[in-house]
């Protein structure tokens, strides 16, 4: 039992095992927004991203990824067919997909890695997947800088559509947070799910148009309709439209907004249904 003040009146007792309404949980998360930011910055510092060499590596590593994938898939396997400017196309695909993957994978282990904290302190457990998602959002600044720098160096000059990059990242973040909620609950009960999740993301990487132009390699109309509702493909397509001006079907735009609304809501509600069990071995 904990004591909480009631607007200056006499304190009331609350059973900490009782699940709060969703709206009250959201208020508690918002009240801890400064902590979420502090936790995200602390995590980045732990990764040496506040040092010169650490920052240099986080810029060099994405550039190295682009080079390797360009040689293997663009030059050797020929997946650049149909793409006028393959390097920024590839960079957007790799980094945008990696951004969503990192949030979901980090969210998956957020409960397990903080089990000791959960047993010791009473706080909104929903802040754990959210805090790692905020950390990944801040860390994405380095790949984003490389991505846009590569685009400019290869002839993609800034346009009015570049203003849409930030809102699109916001949609990606919301979608990935929803995945993080779901993955966290599953991983808490089935620890091996982290390995399964990694395999699922590897499959999604090769089936979401990260490395190739879907219009060129998926001519079947039915298959294209299926691809158009693939959330990873939707967000990659929106980012390529914003940076490179590639056309985007209306169905892709609608699906992108749908995933950004439905996934975090369902993930949040589903995560909280077993909230009383988290931290118990």
Q: Which of 228, 110, 253, 62 is nearest to 171 (CA)?
A: 253
Strand partners, 14: 2
Question: Higher model confidence: residue 21 or residue 257?
Answer: 257
Token couple for 97 = 């997909």
Q: Are 29 and 19 in contact (CB under 8 A)?
A: no
The predicted pLDDT at position 279 comes to: 62
Q: Are 244 and 156 in contact (CB under 8 A)?
A: yes
The predicted pLDDT at position 118 comes to: 76
Its pTM stands at 0.83
Is it the case that residue 276 has pLDDT exceeding 90?
A: no
Which of 14-28, 140-154, 230-244, 262-276 has the least mean pLDDT? Answer: 14-28
Q: Please write the tens of the pLDDT for every residue from 50-63.
A: 555 555 666 677 77
Which of 38-42, 133-137, 140-144, 238-242 has the least mean pLDDT? Answer: 38-42
Distance CA 232, CA 207 (A): 9
Residue 57 CA neighbour count, 13 Å, CB half: 7
Q: Find the distance separating the first CA and the last CA of the chain, reported in whole Å.
A: 21
Residues 6 or more apart from 19 whose CB is under 8 A from it? 272, 275, 276
Token couple for 81 = 């067919």
Question: Higher model confidence: residue 62 or residue 70?
Answer: 70
Share of the chain above pLDDT 90, in %: 38
Distance CA 163, CA 145 (A): 14
Q: Please write the tens of the pLDDT for every residue from 229-269.
A: 899 999 999 999 999 998 898 989 999 999 999 999 999 99
Residues 6 or more apart from 197 whose CB is under 8 A from it? 104, 105, 108, 183, 187
Q: Give the CA distances from residue 161 to residues 157, 165, 166, 238, 251, in Å, rounded to whole numbers and listed in that order.
A: 11, 8, 10, 10, 19
At 10, is the pLDDT very low, low, confident or very high (cuts 50, 70, 90)?
very low
Question: Higher model confidence: residue 4 or residue 123?
Answer: 123
- CA 246 from centre of chain: 23
Which of 59-63, 124-128, 223-227 has the least mean pLDDT? Answer: 59-63
* Helix or strand (DSSP H, E) at 14: strand 12-14
Is it the case that residue 8 has pLDDT exceeding 70?
A: no
Is it the case that residue 36 has pLDDT exceeding 90?
A: no
């Amino acid at each position: 039992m904990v004591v909480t003040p009631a607007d200056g009146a006499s304190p009331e007792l609350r059973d900490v095992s009782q699940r709060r309404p969703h709206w009250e949980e959201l208020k508690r998360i918002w009240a801890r927004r400064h902590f979420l930011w502090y936790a995200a910055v602390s995590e980045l510092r732990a990764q040496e991203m506040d040092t010169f060499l650490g920052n240099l590596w986080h810029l060099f590593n994405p550039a190295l990824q682009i080079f390797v994938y360009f040689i293997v898939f663009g030059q050797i396997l020929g997946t650049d067919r149909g793409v006028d400017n393959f390097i920024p196309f590839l960079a957007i695909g790799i980094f945008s997909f990696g951004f969503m993957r990192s949030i979901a994978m980090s969210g998956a282990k957020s409960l397990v890695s903080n089990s000791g904290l959960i047993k010791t302190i009473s706080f909104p457990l929903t802040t754990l997947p959210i805090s790692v998602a905020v950390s990944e959002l801040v860390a994405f600044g380095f790949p984003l800088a490389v991505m846009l720098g590569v685009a400019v160096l290869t002839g993609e000059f800034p346009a009015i559509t570049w203003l849409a990059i930030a809102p699109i990242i916001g949609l990606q973040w919301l979608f990935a947070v929803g995945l993080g909620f779901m993955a966290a609950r599953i991983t808490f009960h089935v620890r091996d799910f982290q390995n399964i999740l990694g395999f699922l993301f590897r499959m999604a990487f090769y089936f979401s148009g990260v490395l190739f132009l879907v219009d060129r390699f998926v001519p079947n109309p039915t298959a294209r309709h299926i691809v158009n509702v693939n959330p990873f493909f939707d967000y990659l397509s929106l980012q390529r439209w914003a940076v490179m001006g590639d056309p985007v079907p209306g169905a892709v735009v609608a699906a992108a907004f749908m995933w950004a609304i439905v996934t975090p809501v369902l993930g949040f509600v589903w995560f909280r249904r077993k909230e009383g069990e988290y931290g118990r071995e």
